[in-house]
Chain A
Amino acid sequence: MYDKQSFIALQSIIIKEVTRYFRIWVQTLLPPAITMTLYFVIFGQLIGSRVGQMDGVSYMEYITPGIIMMSVITNSYSNVVSSFFSAKFQRSIEEMLVSPVPTLFILLGYVLGGVSRGLLTGIIVTIVAAQFVEINVNSWGILLVVVLLTSMLFATGGLVNAVFAKKFDDISIVPTFILTPLTYLGGVFYSIKLLPEFWQSVSLANPILYMVNAFRYGFLGFSDIEISTALGLILVFIVGLFSLAYYLLAKGIGIRS
Protein backbone atom coordinates (compact mmCIF):
# COMPACT_ATOMS: atom_id res chain seq x y z
CA MET A 1 0.00 0.00 0.00
CA TYR A 2 2.76 2.46 0.91
CA ASP A 3 4.62 1.97 -2.33
CA LYS A 4 6.77 4.16 -4.55
CA GLN A 5 3.73 5.94 -5.92
CA SER A 6 2.69 7.01 -2.43
CA PHE A 7 6.11 8.53 -1.90
CA ILE A 8 5.85 10.45 -5.16
CA ALA A 9 2.54 11.76 -3.87
CA LEU A 10 4.13 12.72 -0.56
CA GLN A 11 6.90 14.54 -2.41
CA SER A 12 4.30 16.45 -4.44
CA ILE A 13 2.44 17.59 -1.35
CA ILE A 14 5.66 18.78 0.26
CA ILE A 15 6.70 20.64 -2.87
CA LYS A 16 3.27 22.24 -2.99
CA GLU A 17 3.56 23.30 0.66
CA VAL A 18 7.07 24.68 0.39
CA THR A 19 6.22 26.54 -2.81
CA ARG A 20 3.28 28.10 -1.02
CA TYR A 21 5.20 29.66 1.84
CA PHE A 22 8.05 30.77 -0.40
CA ARG A 23 5.54 32.44 -2.74
CA ILE A 24 4.27 34.53 0.17
CA TRP A 25 7.62 34.88 1.94
CA VAL A 26 6.83 38.45 2.94
CA GLN A 27 4.04 37.10 5.13
CA THR A 28 5.77 33.92 6.21
CA LEU A 29 9.56 34.19 6.43
CA LEU A 30 10.16 37.88 6.89
CA PRO A 31 7.96 38.66 9.93
CA PRO A 32 9.70 36.27 12.35
CA ALA A 33 13.06 37.78 11.37
CA ILE A 34 11.77 41.26 12.15
CA THR A 35 9.87 40.40 15.34
CA MET A 36 12.69 38.39 16.77
CA THR A 37 15.20 41.13 16.00
CA LEU A 38 13.01 43.40 18.11
CA TYR A 39 12.94 40.88 20.94
CA PHE A 40 16.72 40.69 20.90
CA VAL A 41 17.15 44.44 20.83
CA ILE A 42 14.56 45.24 23.48
CA PHE A 43 14.64 42.29 25.87
CA GLY A 44 18.14 41.14 25.17
CA GLN A 45 20.12 44.33 24.87
CA LEU A 46 18.16 47.17 26.50
CA ILE A 47 16.44 45.38 29.34
CA GLY A 48 18.78 42.39 29.43
CA SER A 49 21.77 44.54 30.31
CA ARG A 50 19.98 45.56 33.52
CA VAL A 51 18.76 42.06 34.37
CA GLY A 52 22.29 40.75 34.55
CA GLN A 53 22.82 37.02 34.65
CA MET A 54 20.26 34.24 34.76
CA ASP A 55 21.32 30.72 35.69
CA GLY A 56 24.88 31.82 35.18
CA VAL A 57 24.65 33.14 31.62
CA SER A 58 23.83 36.59 30.24
CA TYR A 59 20.13 37.31 29.88
CA MET A 60 20.50 37.54 26.12
CA GLU A 61 22.04 34.08 26.01
CA TYR A 62 19.34 32.80 28.32
CA ILE A 63 16.40 33.93 26.16
CA THR A 64 17.89 33.00 22.78
CA PRO A 65 16.84 29.30 22.74
CA GLY A 66 13.33 30.17 23.88
CA ILE A 67 12.93 32.82 21.23
CA ILE A 68 14.08 30.44 18.51
CA MET A 69 11.70 27.82 19.83
CA MET A 70 8.86 30.31 19.96
CA SER A 71 9.21 31.08 16.26
CA VAL A 72 9.51 27.39 15.38
CA ILE A 73 6.28 26.69 17.25
CA THR A 74 4.30 29.57 15.76
CA ASN A 75 5.46 28.97 12.22
CA SER A 76 4.97 25.20 12.15
CA TYR A 77 1.49 25.70 13.50
CA SER A 78 0.40 28.59 11.35
CA ASN A 79 1.77 27.06 8.16
CA VAL A 80 -0.42 24.01 8.40
CA VAL A 81 -3.46 25.73 9.81
CA SER A 82 -3.54 28.34 7.02
CA SER A 83 -2.57 26.02 4.22
CA PHE A 84 -5.00 23.26 5.12
CA PHE A 85 -7.82 25.65 5.87
CA SER A 86 -7.37 27.45 2.59
CA ALA A 87 -7.26 24.09 0.75
CA LYS A 88 -10.57 23.30 2.44
CA PHE A 89 -11.97 26.73 1.68
CA GLN A 90 -10.94 26.76 -1.99
CA ARG A 91 -11.81 23.06 -2.14
CA SER A 92 -8.42 22.26 -3.64
CA ILE A 93 -8.21 19.56 -0.95
CA GLU A 94 -10.47 17.63 -3.34
CA GLU A 95 -7.45 17.20 -5.61
CA MET A 96 -6.05 14.88 -2.97
CA LEU A 97 -9.34 13.29 -2.00
CA VAL A 98 -10.10 12.04 -5.52
CA SER A 99 -6.61 10.66 -5.97
CA PRO A 100 -5.21 7.49 -4.41
CA VAL A 101 -2.83 9.19 -1.94
CA PRO A 102 -3.13 7.25 1.33
CA THR A 103 -4.55 9.36 4.17
CA LEU A 104 -1.36 8.87 6.16
CA PHE A 105 0.63 10.51 3.38
CA ILE A 106 -1.70 13.49 3.11
CA LEU A 107 -1.20 13.98 6.83
CA LEU A 108 2.57 13.50 6.60
CA GLY A 109 2.78 15.86 3.62
CA TYR A 110 1.13 18.72 5.48
CA VAL A 111 3.04 18.04 8.69
CA LEU A 112 6.42 17.88 6.97
CA GLY A 113 5.55 21.04 5.04
CA GLY A 114 4.91 22.76 8.37
CA VAL A 115 8.06 21.28 9.91
CA SER A 116 10.13 22.58 7.03
CA ARG A 117 8.84 26.11 7.57
CA GLY A 118 9.31 25.82 11.32
CA LEU A 119 12.92 24.71 10.89
CA LEU A 120 13.68 27.28 8.22
CA THR A 121 12.31 30.02 10.47
CA GLY A 122 14.35 28.59 13.33
CA ILE A 123 17.49 28.88 11.22
CA ILE A 124 16.64 32.44 10.18
CA VAL A 125 16.08 33.47 13.81
CA THR A 126 19.29 31.74 14.86
CA ILE A 127 21.17 33.73 12.26
CA VAL A 128 19.56 36.92 13.58
CA ALA A 129 20.46 35.89 17.15
CA ALA A 130 24.06 35.29 16.13
CA GLN A 131 24.35 39.00 15.37
CA PHE A 132 23.71 39.75 19.04
CA VAL A 133 25.16 36.87 20.96
CA GLU A 134 27.68 34.12 20.57
CA ILE A 135 25.86 30.84 19.90
CA ASN A 136 27.24 27.72 21.54
CA VAL A 137 25.77 24.28 21.28
CA ASN A 138 25.97 21.90 24.19
CA SER A 139 24.33 18.91 22.57
CA TRP A 140 23.46 18.83 18.89
CA GLY A 141 21.59 15.58 19.36
CA ILE A 142 19.14 16.91 21.92
CA LEU A 143 18.84 20.21 20.10
CA LEU A 144 17.81 18.57 16.84
CA VAL A 145 15.54 15.96 18.34
CA VAL A 146 13.70 18.55 20.40
CA VAL A 147 13.25 21.06 17.61
CA LEU A 148 12.13 18.38 15.16
CA LEU A 149 9.62 16.80 17.51
CA THR A 150 8.28 20.13 18.66
CA SER A 151 7.68 21.39 15.16
CA MET A 152 6.02 18.10 14.23
CA LEU A 153 3.79 18.41 17.24
CA PHE A 154 2.64 21.91 16.40
CA ALA A 155 2.32 21.26 12.68
CA THR A 156 -0.04 18.41 13.53
CA GLY A 157 -1.89 20.67 15.96
CA GLY A 158 -2.34 23.19 13.15
CA LEU A 159 -3.92 20.52 11.01
CA VAL A 160 -6.39 19.51 13.70
CA ASN A 161 -7.29 23.17 14.18
CA ALA A 162 -7.85 23.58 10.41
CA VAL A 163 -10.09 20.52 10.23
CA PHE A 164 -12.45 22.05 12.79
CA ALA A 165 -12.23 25.62 11.50
CA LYS A 166 -15.36 26.80 9.71
CA LYS A 167 -14.29 30.36 8.95
CA PHE A 168 -11.07 32.34 8.72
CA ASP A 169 -11.38 33.66 12.29
CA ASP A 170 -11.31 30.13 13.63
CA ILE A 171 -7.73 29.64 12.56
CA SER A 172 -6.41 32.39 14.80
CA ILE A 173 -8.30 31.51 17.99
CA VAL A 174 -5.91 28.81 19.17
CA PRO A 175 -2.73 30.75 18.34
CA THR A 176 -4.02 33.90 20.06
CA PHE A 177 -5.72 32.48 23.12
CA ILE A 178 -3.73 29.35 23.80
CA LEU A 179 -0.38 29.21 22.04
CA THR A 180 0.83 32.75 22.68
CA PRO A 181 0.01 32.80 26.42
CA LEU A 182 1.46 29.33 26.94
CA THR A 183 4.62 30.33 25.10
CA TYR A 184 5.10 33.48 27.18
CA LEU A 185 4.46 31.52 30.36
CA GLY A 186 6.62 28.67 29.10
CA GLY A 187 9.87 29.93 30.52
CA VAL A 188 11.15 31.68 27.42
CA PHE A 189 12.03 34.85 29.34
CA TYR A 190 12.58 33.56 32.86
CA SER A 191 13.51 30.50 34.85
CA ILE A 192 10.52 29.11 36.74
CA LYS A 193 12.77 28.88 39.77
CA LEU A 194 12.12 32.62 40.12
CA LEU A 195 8.42 31.96 40.69
CA PRO A 196 6.72 31.25 44.02
CA GLU A 197 6.35 27.52 44.60
CA PHE A 198 2.66 27.49 43.76
CA TRP A 199 3.21 29.04 40.33
CA GLN A 200 6.12 26.75 39.74
CA SER A 201 3.84 23.74 39.98
CA VAL A 202 1.19 25.43 37.86
CA SER A 203 3.84 26.08 35.23
CA LEU A 204 4.60 22.38 35.12
CA ALA A 205 1.19 21.84 33.53
CA ASN A 206 2.31 23.87 30.52
CA PRO A 207 3.70 21.57 27.83
CA ILE A 208 5.60 24.37 26.13
CA LEU A 209 7.72 24.78 29.27
CA TYR A 210 9.15 21.31 28.66
CA MET A 211 10.00 22.01 25.04
CA VAL A 212 11.62 25.36 25.73
CA ASN A 213 13.68 23.93 28.56
CA ALA A 214 14.77 20.86 26.66
CA PHE A 215 15.76 23.07 23.75
CA ARG A 216 17.67 25.39 26.08
CA TYR A 217 19.46 22.38 27.42
CA GLY A 218 20.57 21.58 23.88
CA PHE A 219 22.24 25.00 23.69
CA LEU A 220 23.31 25.82 27.22
CA GLY A 221 23.43 22.50 29.05
CA PHE A 222 20.98 23.32 31.84
CA SER A 223 17.24 23.11 32.23
CA ASP A 224 14.48 23.55 34.82
CA ILE A 225 13.14 20.18 33.74
CA GLU A 226 14.51 16.66 33.48
CA ILE A 227 15.31 16.11 29.79
CA SER A 228 13.92 12.59 29.62
CA THR A 229 10.63 13.81 31.12
CA ALA A 230 10.47 16.55 28.51
CA LEU A 231 11.16 14.20 25.58
CA GLY A 232 8.70 11.63 26.89
CA LEU A 233 6.01 14.25 27.23
CA ILE A 234 6.56 15.62 23.73
CA LEU A 235 6.35 12.10 22.32
CA VAL A 236 3.11 11.37 24.13
CA PHE A 237 1.61 14.57 22.75
CA ILE A 238 2.77 13.77 19.21
CA VAL A 239 1.32 10.28 19.26
CA GLY A 240 -1.97 11.60 20.63
CA LEU A 241 -2.39 14.50 18.22
CA PHE A 242 -1.16 12.55 15.22
CA SER A 243 -3.66 9.77 15.85
CA LEU A 244 -6.42 12.32 16.26
CA ALA A 245 -5.45 14.07 13.02
CA TYR A 246 -5.33 10.75 11.18
CA TYR A 247 -8.73 9.78 12.48
CA LEU A 248 -10.25 13.12 11.43
CA LEU A 249 -8.80 12.93 7.93
CA ALA A 250 -9.73 9.30 7.42
CA LYS A 251 -13.30 10.06 8.50
CA GLY A 252 -13.33 13.07 6.21
CA ILE A 253 -14.50 15.37 9.02
CA GLY A 254 -14.99 18.84 7.63
CA ILE A 255 -13.84 17.86 4.14
CA ARG A 256 -16.27 15.24 2.86
CA SER A 257 -20.04 15.66 3.07
Chain B
Amino acid sequence: MSEKAIEINNLKKVYGKSLHALKGISFSVEKGDFIALLGPNGAGKSTTIGIICSLVNKTSGEVKVFDHSIDSELEAAKRCLGLVPQEFNFSQFETPLQIVVNQAGYYGVPRKIALQRAEKYLKQLDLWDKKDTPSRTLSGGMKRRLMIARALIHEPKVLILDEPTAGVDIEIRRSMWEFLTELNEQGTTIVLTTHYLEEAEQLCRNVAIINHGEIIENTSIKDLISRLDIETFILDVDKLPSEFPNITDVEFRQRDESSLEIDVAKTVSFNRVFEWLSQHNIQVMSMRNKANRLEELFVRMTETQSN
Protein backbone atom coordinates (compact mmCIF):
# COMPACT_ATOMS: atom_id res chain seq x y z
CA MET B 1 0.00 0.00 0.00
CA SER B 2 1.48 3.30 -1.00
CA GLU B 3 1.56 5.81 1.79
CA LYS B 4 -0.08 9.12 0.98
CA ALA B 5 1.35 12.40 2.19
CA ILE B 6 -2.12 13.79 2.78
CA GLU B 7 -5.43 12.02 2.63
CA ILE B 8 -8.67 13.91 3.00
CA ASN B 9 -11.97 12.13 3.20
CA ASN B 10 -15.41 13.75 3.09
CA LEU B 11 -14.20 16.83 4.90
CA LYS B 12 -16.86 19.32 5.90
CA LYS B 13 -16.68 22.72 7.52
CA VAL B 14 -19.57 24.87 8.58
CA TYR B 15 -18.69 28.32 9.94
CA GLY B 16 -21.22 29.60 12.42
CA LYS B 17 -24.66 28.16 11.82
CA SER B 18 -24.96 28.04 8.08
CA LEU B 19 -21.84 28.99 6.14
CA HIS B 20 -20.94 25.74 4.41
CA ALA B 21 -17.34 26.47 3.48
CA LEU B 22 -16.47 22.83 2.68
CA LYS B 23 -19.20 20.49 1.54
CA GLY B 24 -17.50 17.13 1.94
CA ILE B 25 -14.28 17.22 -0.06
CA SER B 26 -12.03 14.22 -0.67
CA PHE B 27 -8.63 14.18 -2.30
CA SER B 28 -5.17 12.92 -1.63
CA VAL B 29 -1.62 14.04 -2.18
CA GLU B 30 1.02 11.50 -3.13
CA LYS B 31 4.33 11.39 -1.33
CA GLY B 32 6.79 13.65 -3.15
CA ASP B 33 4.07 15.36 -5.16
CA PHE B 34 3.92 19.03 -6.04
CA ILE B 35 0.26 19.89 -6.17
CA ALA B 36 -1.63 23.12 -6.74
CA LEU B 37 -4.86 23.78 -4.92
CA LEU B 38 -6.73 26.21 -7.15
CA GLY B 39 -10.02 28.00 -6.82
CA PRO B 40 -11.58 31.45 -6.85
CA ASN B 41 -11.72 33.71 -3.78
CA GLY B 42 -13.77 32.17 -1.02
CA ALA B 43 -13.68 28.69 -2.55
CA GLY B 44 -12.42 27.07 0.64
CA LYS B 45 -8.69 26.67 0.00
CA SER B 46 -7.50 28.35 3.18
CA THR B 47 -10.18 26.57 5.17
CA THR B 48 -8.92 23.22 3.90
CA ILE B 49 -5.34 24.13 4.73
CA GLY B 50 -6.39 25.52 8.11
CA ILE B 51 -8.00 22.21 9.02
CA ILE B 52 -4.98 20.17 7.92
CA CYS B 53 -2.74 22.37 10.06
CA SER B 54 -4.95 22.57 13.20
CA LEU B 55 -5.86 26.22 12.84
CA VAL B 56 -9.48 25.54 12.01
CA ASN B 57 -11.70 22.95 13.70
CA LYS B 58 -13.35 20.66 11.17
CA THR B 59 -17.06 19.96 11.34
CA SER B 60 -16.70 16.38 10.13
CA GLY B 61 -14.58 14.15 7.93
CA GLU B 62 -11.12 12.70 8.05
CA VAL B 63 -7.64 14.09 7.55
CA LYS B 64 -4.50 11.97 7.58
CA VAL B 65 -0.94 13.17 7.23
CA PHE B 66 1.52 10.40 6.43
CA ASP B 67 -1.09 8.03 7.80
CA HIS B 68 -1.41 9.91 11.09
CA SER B 69 -5.00 10.92 11.66
CA ILE B 70 -5.36 14.44 13.07
CA ASP B 71 -7.95 13.03 15.45
CA SER B 72 -5.91 10.29 17.05
CA GLU B 73 -2.26 11.17 16.29
CA LEU B 74 -2.30 14.92 16.07
CA GLU B 75 1.21 15.41 17.38
CA ALA B 76 2.76 13.06 14.83
CA ALA B 77 0.72 14.66 12.05
CA LYS B 78 1.86 18.13 13.08
CA ARG B 79 5.52 17.12 12.99
CA CYS B 80 5.17 16.25 9.29
CA LEU B 81 3.70 19.62 8.34
CA GLY B 82 5.13 23.04 7.65
CA LEU B 83 2.76 25.91 6.93
CA VAL B 84 3.22 29.22 5.13
CA PRO B 85 -0.14 30.90 5.73
CA GLN B 86 -1.90 33.40 3.52
CA GLU B 87 -1.83 36.20 6.09
CA PHE B 88 1.25 37.34 7.98
CA ASN B 89 1.05 35.72 11.39
CA PHE B 90 4.21 36.48 13.26
CA SER B 91 4.83 39.04 15.97
CA GLN B 92 5.65 42.34 14.32
CA PHE B 93 8.02 43.21 17.13
CA GLU B 94 10.18 40.14 17.04
CA THR B 95 13.16 39.77 14.74
CA PRO B 96 13.40 37.10 12.04
CA LEU B 97 16.00 35.24 14.07
CA GLN B 98 13.81 35.20 17.19
CA ILE B 99 10.76 34.12 15.21
CA VAL B 100 12.52 31.26 13.47
CA VAL B 101 14.44 30.02 16.51
CA ASN B 102 11.37 30.09 18.76
CA GLN B 103 9.38 28.22 16.15
CA ALA B 104 12.05 25.51 16.11
CA GLY B 105 11.75 25.40 19.89
CA TYR B 106 8.00 24.74 19.67
CA TYR B 107 8.87 21.64 17.67
CA GLY B 108 11.35 20.57 20.31
CA VAL B 109 14.50 21.39 18.35
CA PRO B 110 17.27 22.18 20.86
CA ARG B 111 18.36 25.80 20.77
CA LYS B 112 21.86 25.12 19.51
CA ILE B 113 20.62 23.20 16.49
CA ALA B 114 17.86 25.74 16.00
CA LEU B 115 20.42 28.50 15.66
CA GLN B 116 22.36 26.56 13.03
CA ARG B 117 19.22 25.84 11.04
CA ALA B 118 18.05 29.42 11.38
CA GLU B 119 21.29 30.57 9.80
CA LYS B 120 20.93 28.04 6.99
CA TYR B 121 17.35 28.91 6.10
CA LEU B 122 17.58 32.65 6.63
CA LYS B 123 20.62 32.66 4.35
CA GLN B 124 18.88 30.52 1.74
CA LEU B 125 15.94 32.89 1.75
CA ASP B 126 18.18 35.93 1.63
CA LEU B 127 17.17 37.30 5.01
CA TRP B 128 20.35 36.84 7.00
CA ASP B 129 21.31 40.52 6.91
CA LYS B 130 17.83 41.34 8.29
CA LYS B 131 17.97 38.78 11.06
CA ASP B 132 18.07 41.31 13.89
CA THR B 133 15.65 43.95 12.65
CA PRO B 134 12.05 44.01 13.93
CA SER B 135 9.99 42.09 11.41
CA ARG B 136 7.46 44.88 10.94
CA THR B 137 10.16 46.79 9.05
CA LEU B 138 10.59 44.03 6.45
CA SER B 139 9.10 44.45 2.99
CA GLY B 140 6.13 42.32 1.96
CA GLY B 141 8.32 39.94 -0.05
CA MET B 142 10.74 39.56 2.85
CA LYS B 143 7.87 38.77 5.21
CA ARG B 144 6.70 36.01 2.87
CA ARG B 145 10.21 34.56 2.76
CA LEU B 146 10.46 34.80 6.53
CA MET B 147 7.33 32.65 6.78
CA ILE B 148 8.90 30.12 4.42
CA ALA B 149 12.04 29.94 6.55
CA ARG B 150 9.88 29.54 9.64
CA ALA B 151 7.88 26.73 8.06
CA LEU B 152 11.04 24.81 7.17
CA ILE B 153 12.86 25.12 10.47
CA HIS B 154 11.71 21.71 11.72
CA GLU B 155 12.38 20.18 8.27
CA PRO B 156 8.84 18.94 7.59
CA LYS B 157 7.99 16.24 5.04
CA VAL B 158 5.12 18.30 3.67
CA LEU B 159 5.24 22.03 3.02
CA ILE B 160 1.92 23.80 2.54
CA LEU B 161 1.99 27.30 1.08
CA ASP B 162 -1.14 29.44 0.94
CA GLU B 163 -0.56 32.02 -1.79
CA PRO B 164 3.14 32.44 -1.09
CA THR B 165 3.74 34.68 -4.08
CA ALA B 166 0.89 37.15 -3.54
CA GLY B 167 2.36 40.62 -3.80
CA VAL B 168 5.85 39.38 -4.58
CA ASP B 169 7.81 40.89 -7.49
CA ILE B 170 8.75 38.84 -10.54
CA GLU B 171 12.39 38.39 -9.66
CA ILE B 172 11.70 37.14 -6.16
CA ARG B 173 8.81 35.05 -7.39
CA ARG B 174 11.14 33.28 -9.80
CA SER B 175 13.74 32.68 -7.14
CA MET B 176 10.99 31.30 -4.88
CA TRP B 177 9.95 28.97 -7.69
CA GLU B 178 13.49 27.76 -8.04
CA PHE B 179 13.76 27.27 -4.31
CA LEU B 180 10.53 25.29 -4.12
CA THR B 181 11.39 23.15 -7.12
CA GLU B 182 14.70 22.24 -5.55
CA LEU B 183 13.04 21.46 -2.24
CA ASN B 184 10.56 19.20 -4.01
CA GLU B 185 13.36 17.45 -5.88
CA GLN B 186 15.00 16.72 -2.55
CA GLY B 187 11.84 14.93 -1.48
CA THR B 188 9.58 17.44 0.25
CA THR B 189 5.95 17.11 -0.74
CA ILE B 190 4.56 20.53 -1.59
CA VAL B 191 0.99 21.80 -1.63
CA LEU B 192 0.50 25.31 -2.92
CA THR B 193 -2.42 27.60 -3.55
CA THR B 194 -2.14 30.40 -6.02
CA HIS B 195 -4.22 32.63 -8.23
CA TYR B 196 -1.53 32.64 -10.91
CA LEU B 197 -2.15 29.67 -13.18
CA GLU B 198 1.17 30.23 -14.84
CA GLU B 199 2.71 29.47 -11.47
CA ALA B 200 0.80 26.23 -11.11
CA GLU B 201 1.77 25.27 -14.65
CA GLN B 202 5.44 26.01 -14.02
CA LEU B 203 5.75 24.30 -10.68
CA CYS B 204 3.18 21.64 -10.13
CA ARG B 205 2.59 18.12 -11.41
CA ASN B 206 -0.96 17.82 -10.16
CA VAL B 207 -3.84 20.08 -9.48
CA ALA B 208 -7.02 20.04 -7.44
CA ILE B 209 -9.61 22.66 -8.27
CA ILE B 210 -12.00 23.66 -5.55
CA ASN B 211 -15.06 25.82 -6.01
CA HIS B 212 -17.85 26.67 -3.57
CA GLY B 213 -16.46 24.13 -1.12
CA GLU B 214 -16.38 21.23 -3.57
CA ILE B 215 -13.57 19.61 -5.53
CA ILE B 216 -14.51 19.99 -9.17
CA GLU B 217 -11.31 18.60 -10.66
CA ASN B 218 -8.35 16.60 -9.45
CA THR B 219 -5.89 15.64 -12.15
CA SER B 220 -2.46 16.29 -13.59
CA ILE B 221 -1.53 19.64 -15.10
CA LYS B 222 -0.65 17.80 -18.32
CA ASP B 223 -4.13 16.35 -18.55
CA LEU B 224 -5.66 19.72 -17.91
CA ILE B 225 -3.65 21.32 -20.68
CA SER B 226 -4.42 18.54 -23.11
CA ARG B 227 -8.07 19.41 -22.70
CA LEU B 228 -7.53 22.81 -24.18
CA ASP B 229 -8.73 22.05 -27.68
CA ILE B 230 -8.87 25.57 -29.05
CA GLU B 231 -6.27 28.27 -28.74
CA THR B 232 -6.76 31.93 -29.47
CA PHE B 233 -4.00 34.06 -31.01
CA ILE B 234 -3.68 37.73 -31.65
CA LEU B 235 -1.88 38.76 -34.85
CA ASP B 236 -0.69 42.31 -35.47
CA VAL B 237 -0.90 42.88 -39.21
CA ASP B 238 0.06 45.66 -41.60
CA LYS B 239 -3.40 45.75 -43.18
CA LEU B 240 -6.75 44.06 -42.66
CA PRO B 241 -8.21 41.58 -45.14
CA SER B 242 -11.43 42.61 -46.85
CA GLU B 243 -13.00 39.21 -46.29
CA PHE B 244 -12.26 36.30 -43.97
CA PRO B 245 -11.31 32.86 -45.24
CA ASN B 246 -13.25 29.69 -44.88
CA ILE B 247 -10.85 27.24 -43.23
CA THR B 248 -12.31 24.36 -41.22
CA ASP B 249 -11.83 24.75 -37.46
CA VAL B 250 -10.32 28.20 -37.77
CA GLU B 251 -12.21 31.33 -36.92
CA PHE B 252 -11.08 34.83 -37.83
CA ARG B 253 -12.23 38.02 -36.13
CA GLN B 254 -11.18 41.60 -36.51
CA ARG B 255 -9.89 42.95 -33.23
CA ASP B 256 -9.10 46.54 -34.10
CA GLU B 257 -7.56 48.63 -36.92
CA SER B 258 -4.37 46.61 -37.06
CA SER B 259 -4.95 43.24 -35.43
CA LEU B 260 -6.83 40.01 -35.86
CA GLU B 261 -8.01 37.43 -33.38
CA ILE B 262 -7.91 33.83 -34.56
CA ASP B 263 -9.29 30.71 -32.84
CA VAL B 264 -7.38 27.66 -34.01
CA ALA B 265 -8.33 24.08 -33.15
CA LYS B 266 -5.43 21.92 -32.02
CA THR B 267 -5.98 19.61 -34.98
CA VAL B 268 -5.33 22.33 -37.56
CA SER B 269 -1.89 23.20 -38.83
CA PHE B 270 -1.09 26.84 -38.38
CA ASN B 271 0.58 26.92 -41.79
CA ARG B 272 -2.79 27.05 -43.45
CA VAL B 273 -3.51 30.33 -41.73
CA PHE B 274 -0.21 31.81 -42.84
CA GLU B 275 -0.65 30.53 -46.40
CA TRP B 276 -3.94 32.32 -46.68
CA LEU B 277 -2.48 35.49 -45.21
CA SER B 278 0.44 35.58 -47.62
CA GLN B 279 -1.85 34.85 -50.55
CA HIS B 280 -3.67 38.01 -49.59
CA ASN B 281 -0.42 39.83 -49.18
CA ILE B 282 -0.90 40.54 -45.49
CA GLN B 283 2.24 40.81 -43.37
CA VAL B 284 2.15 39.48 -39.82
CA MET B 285 4.23 41.84 -37.71
CA SER B 286 3.87 39.98 -34.43
CA MET B 287 1.81 37.27 -32.84
CA ARG B 288 0.87 36.27 -29.29
CA ASN B 289 -1.41 34.02 -27.26
CA LYS B 290 -4.58 35.64 -26.05
CA ALA B 291 -4.55 35.56 -22.21
CA ASN B 292 -3.39 32.46 -20.41
CA ARG B 293 -5.02 29.39 -21.91
CA LEU B 294 -5.24 27.74 -18.55
CA GLU B 295 -6.89 30.78 -17.12
CA GLU B 296 -9.62 30.56 -19.69
CA LEU B 297 -10.19 26.91 -18.98
CA PHE B 298 -10.27 27.64 -15.30
CA VAL B 299 -12.83 30.40 -15.69
CA ARG B 300 -14.97 28.15 -17.87
CA MET B 301 -14.84 25.31 -15.34
CA THR B 302 -15.69 27.41 -12.32
CA GLU B 303 -18.43 29.28 -14.18
CA THR B 304 -20.16 26.14 -15.41
CA GLN B 305 -20.31 24.91 -11.88
CA SER B 306 -21.85 28.08 -10.50
CA ASN B 307 -24.69 28.00 -13.01
Contacts and interface: CB of A to CB of B under 8 A. Distances in A.
Contact of B91 (A8, A90, A98, A256): A90
A8 B111 CA distance: 8
A21 B94 CA distance: 12
A101 interface: yes
Interface string B6-19: 00000000010000
A101 B54 CA distance: 12
Interface string B81-107: 101010111111110001101111111
A90 B92 contact: yes
A252 interface: yes
Give the residue among A1, A3, A86, A257 with the most B Cβ atoms within 10 A: A257
Interface size class of B (residues with CB under 8 A): 35 or more
B108 A87 contact: no
Interface residues of A, number: 32
A9 B91 contact: no
Contacts of A95: 89-90, 99, 102-103, 106, 150
B108 A97 contact: no
Interface in A1-40: 1, 3-6, 8-9, 11-13, 15-16, 19-20, 23
A96 B111 CA distance: 16
A100 B107 contact: yes
Given A8-B111, A9-B106, A256-B56, A98 B81 contact: yes
B57 A90 contact: no
A90 B55 CA distance: 14
Given A5-B108, A12-B105, A97 B90 contact: no
Contacts of B103: 95, 99
A90 to B, nearest CB: 6
Given A8-B111, A11-B105, A92-B90, A98 B98 contact: no
A256 B13 CA distance: 13
Contacts of B53: 98
A91 interface: yes
Contacts of B20: none
A235 B195 CA distance: 55
B57 A98 contact: no
Contact of A91 (B57, B89, B107): B89
Interface in B49-74: 50, 53-57, 74
Nearest to A99: B106
Contacts of A99: 78, 103, 106-107, 154
Contacts of B99: 95
B85 to A, nearest CB: 7
Interface in A71-98: 86-87, 90-92, 94-98
B57 A9 contact: no
B284 interface: no
Contacts of A23: 93
B110 interface: yes
B305 to A, nearest CB: 25
9 contacts: A8-B110, A9-B106, A97-B55, A98-B53, A99-B103, A100-B74, A100-B75, A102-B75, A257-B55
Given A12-B101, A102-B75, 13 more contacts: A9-B105, A9-B108, A13-B105, A19-B98, A20-B93, A92-B90, A94-B55, A94-B89, A95-B102, A98-B55, A98-B78, A257-B15, A257-B50
Q: What 3 A-B pairs come out closest when comparing CB atoms?
A: A5-B108, A12-B105, A99-B106
